[in-house]
Structure 1
Amino acid sequence: MVAAGVTVLLWASAFVSIRSAAAHFGPGALAFGRLLTASVALGLVLLVKRVPPPPKQAWPGILGSGVLWFGLYMVTLNWGEQLVDAGTAAMVVNIGPIVIALLSGWLLKEGFPSMLLAGMAVSFAGAVVVGLSTSHGGSASLGGVLLCLVAALTYGAGVVLQKPALQYASPLQVTTYGCFIGTAVTLPFAWQLVDQLPRAPMSAVLNMLYLGLFPTALAFTTWSFALSRTTAGKMGATTYAVPAVVVLIAWIALDEIPAGLTLLGGAICLAGVAVSRMRRRGVR
């Protein structure tokens, strides 16, 4: 699906931008700046298109995903990546799709399709390979690991809460109001952004704006569009392709030549995504 592909590509590009911007902005300040940028952009779209507020039935899911996924996830992920290397962070955060599969199978009654579970197992193994190959000396603090674990849990719970809201509101409405709520959650970090913004280089500011416009405003909308047309479990499994795409983007944009083990792990991730989207013969 094109929407899922756009989401994976833009979310993968976010890791490269975060790497640049995080050196000049605190975790909360970067999250607030990113969400504020996305909120302004999406808010303008709502005004131009004259889109009404979501119906009341959609608000529980929008509130939950806005607080957990748009707000807490972005802060804890930014913070965690300051304390652990990228490989360790990738391994821990990739628990998220497993959380999605378990919660959606239980709470949303999506069940536990065998091909989905098999594909997720393969993809998680690939993510571990990528993490080990990009880990430098295994320097991971307990606090950093716990923060990345919280990020994975809030991501998984946020997706499962968002799915029912899409039955009553459009992807644009769900994404925009989720961004509004996430911006409100990260508002206490506004003073940090005001303090750090004048000292930040233009490259860091542009990366923060890019994060808000593309991996957030656009990619979260395409994600919601795709999620409204499939199960949460399958969409979660699709995001296992992100680590593989990150490797390719870093190779092209940063001239970081990946090791053979990294390429192998990326290929395993992609193979797992393919398996997760297959259907068993004889099963409709």
Structure 2
Amino acid sequence: MTISNTTDTRSDQQWPALAAAAVTVLLWASAFVSIRSAGDAYSPGALALGRLLTGTLALGAISLIRRVGLPARAAWPGIISSGVLWFGLYMVALNWGEQQVDAGTAAMVVNIGPILIALLSSKLLGEGLPRPLLAGMAVSFGGAVVVGLSMSGSGGSSVLGVLLCVLAAVSYATGVVSQKPALGHAGALQVTTFGCLIGTVACLPFTGALVSEAADAPLSATLNVVYLGLFPTALAFTTWAFALARTTAGKMGSTTYVVPALVVLMSWLFLDEVPGLLTLAGGALCLAGVGVSRRRPRPAPTTVVAVSQPTTAPREEPSPTD
């Protein structure tokens, strides 16, 4: 009997996706700081258009250099849906919502997005809802609520602002679930480039506001718009698509719960906003929940058993007395 154990290499194969997801959440966290800096000089629509236009130009140049062609026809429904809903509507709604409510309330409401992603991907993509994902998302959402409550100001919320944040969460979740099938027919760079282009076209009605506001905006605000387009949009959305193509939408959505914890840290480092103990505890819960959601049961080693063939007994010769 021969017994051999085969090691599971899936964890090694997931490292590129995890690295790409880490780049995404780090840059998206930095976007909140830049949006806050640019939001005083740019209106929500103009800020979204300026960000998307910068991202489209950068991605278009990279696509031309790498000679990336048009996506396959089967990828276009997902690209158009994610471009309109996620690149376009989400950014405008989020920018507008954050001007109507305090940052804590916005963080709590927008963070229903990953929960919606898990539910939609289970229903529409058949991904299922494994227990570690549900448990981790519950812990992370609790952490996001703690962060939001600790950062909420009194009287700083409005019904309109809450509704805009809900709209941002729904459009974000729907856009992600729409993007997932498109990645089965086109590459991450293709899906991101043309999705960003679709979002830019959807935001063209804000062209007049962008032109007039850019003429009066301070250089620092305009540089923040350029940064938002190059890094949290062009780079981070591409690394997101790369990671999403290699894992489930539910797991990728849960990964974004790292963002509130990173925003707290970056606000502390760059804006001198010292977080309280409750905020730090909420950030720690967000990180712990992401860790739980990414776990999977350790697979049992595969055992191969080689069974030796039975030997044929020698045929007995009849005795002379038979």
RMSD: 1.1
Unaligned runs of 5+ in 2: 1-17, 302-322
Taking only the aligned residue pairs, the percentage that are identical comes to 69
Q: Following TM superposition, by how much is the alpha carbon of 1:100 offset from its aligned partner in structure 2, in angstroms?
A: 0.2
Q: Among residues 229, 241, 261, which one is paired with 1:212 in the alignment? A: 229
- Shift of residue 282, structure 1, vs aligned partner: 5.9
The CA distance in 1 between the partners of 2:155 and 2:241, in whole Å, is 35
- 1:283–1:7: structure 2 CA closer, same or farther, 3 Å change rule? farther
**TM-aligned CA deviation for residue 138 of structure 1:** 4.6
Relative to 1, partners in 2 of residues 1:194 and 1:228: Cα closer, same or farther, differing over 3 Å? same
CA distance in 2 between partners of 1:138 and 1:14 (Å): 25
Secondary structure at the aligned position of 1:233 is classed as helix
CA distance in 2 between partners of 1:283 and 1:241 (Å): 30
Which residue pairs with 2:284 in the alignment? 267
- 1:65 matched to 2:105? The reply is no
Q: Does 1:13 align with 2:13?
A: no
- Alignment: residue pair count: 284
Match of 1:256 in 2: 273
In the alignment, structure 1 segments of 5+ residues that lack a partner are none
CA displacement at 1:247 relative to structure 2: 0.6
Displaced runs of 4 or more, over 2 A: 280-284
Q: Rate the CA distance shift 1:172–1:259 in 2: closer, same or farther, 3 A.
A: same
Structure-2-length-normalised TM-score: 0.87
Secondary structure of 2:259 counterpart:
helix
- Partner Cα distance (1:6, 1:256) in 2: 23
Match of 2:182 among 165, 169, 172: 165
Q: Distance in 2 between matches of 1:119 and 1:267?
A: 13
For 1:178, give the aligned amino acid: G
Change (3 A) 1:283 1:19: farther
> Separation in 2 of the partners of 1:153 and 1:31?
17
Point out the structure with max Rg over C-alpha.
2
Aligned counterpart in structure 2 of residue 201 of structure 1, from 192, 203, 218: 218
After superposition, the C-alpha distances for 1:73-125 in whole angstroms (9 at most, x for unaligned) are: 00000000000000000000000000100000110000111110110000000
Residue of structure 2 equivalent to 1:146:
163
2:205 is the alignment partner of 1:188: yes
1:99 is matched with 116
- Between Structure 1 and Structure 2, which shows a larger proportion of helix residues? 1
Once residues 67 and 19 of structure 2 are traced to their aligned partners in structure 1, the CA distance between those partners, rounded to angstroms, is 26
Q: Supply the AA of the counterpart residue of 1:217.
A: A
The structural deviation recorded for 1:139 is: 2.1
Displacement of 1:255 in angstroms is 1.2
| 1:176 matched residue in structure 2 | 193
User: 1:245 aligned to 2:259?
Assistant: no
Structure-2 change in CA distance of 1:197 and 1:99 (3 Å): same
